[in-house]
Amino acid sequence: MKYSSKTIAAGLLLLFFFAGSREARSQKPLEFGKAVILKDVTPVAGQKNNAPLLWVNVNTSEDTWSKRGGILVCSGHPIGVMRSEKQYENFILHVEWMHVEPGGNSGVFVWSDANPDEKSRLPNGVEVQMLELDWVRLNTKDGVVPPIAYVHGELFGVNGVTTTPDNPRGTRSKSVENRCKGKGEWNIYDVICIDGVIKLSVNGKVVNGITNSSKRKGYLCLESEGAEIHFRNLKIIELPAGVTK
């Protein structure tokens, strides 16, 4: 029996569709972190204290993210993100992170659509940078060493999102003081996101911020960008909605 090229193409398309559907169904949301309600903060509707947070793989491999006890391990490959199950508007994010490779690169996207750009494989939103301290040494060009502030918690809009930097380095906002620790050591980020304003505390001190974000609600995305990084003690305090455009 002979089959036309159109019949074969249709069959291959169906095979691809069902294979992709099975793969998507097999990747269950990953549980990591908790939703926290402060004593003096009115809970957002439906919010439960200490409820586990769920994360959805967007465009990385199934083995890019793994759990080792209470630690989330990102292999860094391929480049991409996983996103929170729900979107957030006003919130406080607490997360601890540690690079294990010199010059490691990663970050957290807030207020993101979680729809990655085809070329960069990264989504829009405001990125909270997590670069390992050796990045500046490994990226020296023509004898010029990049500023350490680039490593330390830069904040910037990505893929069309605009912001007003507190401490401008072009369109980005750099930290006013380097408080980051190097590979093998844990860093603490507390990120306050309210009505288009972000303030970043690193290891116990506020050192950076932006205002006037053009996007003020969206997913949180954890970034895989070429180097292994560990996360722990992630907590989100969701706050009531505020001023919107």
Residues 6+ apart with CB under 8 A from 24: none
Q: What is the pTM of this model?
A: 0.86
Predicted confidence at residue 27, as pLDDT, reads 74
Name the amino acid, one letter, at 112. Answer: S
Q: Measuring CA to CA, which residue among 126, 128, 127, 241 is closest to residue 195?
A: 241
pLDDT tens for the chain, 245 residues: list them: 455 555 444 444 444 333 443 433 457 999 999 999 888 777 788 888 999 999 999 999 999 999 999 999 999 999 999 999 999 999 999 999 999 999 999 999 999 999 999 999 999 999 999 999 999 889 888 888 877 767 789 999 999 999 999 999 999 999 999 999 999 999 999 999 999 999 999 999 999 999 999 999 999 999 999 999 999 999 999 999 886 55
Q: How many residues does the chain have?
A: 245
Can you tell me which residue has the tokens 């809970």? 43
- What's the pLDDT tens digit per position in 190-209? 999 999 999 999 999 999 99
- Beta-carbon contacts of residue 189 (< 8 Å; ≥ 6 apart): 93, 94, 95, 96, 97, 108, 128, 130, 153, 200, 201, 202
Domains and CATH numbers, the chain: 29-239 (2.60.120.560)
Residue 18: the pLDDT is: 39
Residue 245's pLDDT is what?
A: 53
> What is the structure's pLDDT at 151?
74
Structure tokens at 129: 């940078």
Amino acid present at 7 = T
Geometric angle at alpha carbon 87, from 234 and 116, rounded to 5°: 90
Torsion sign across C-alpha atoms 153, 155, 160, 161: positive
pLDDT on residue 5: 53
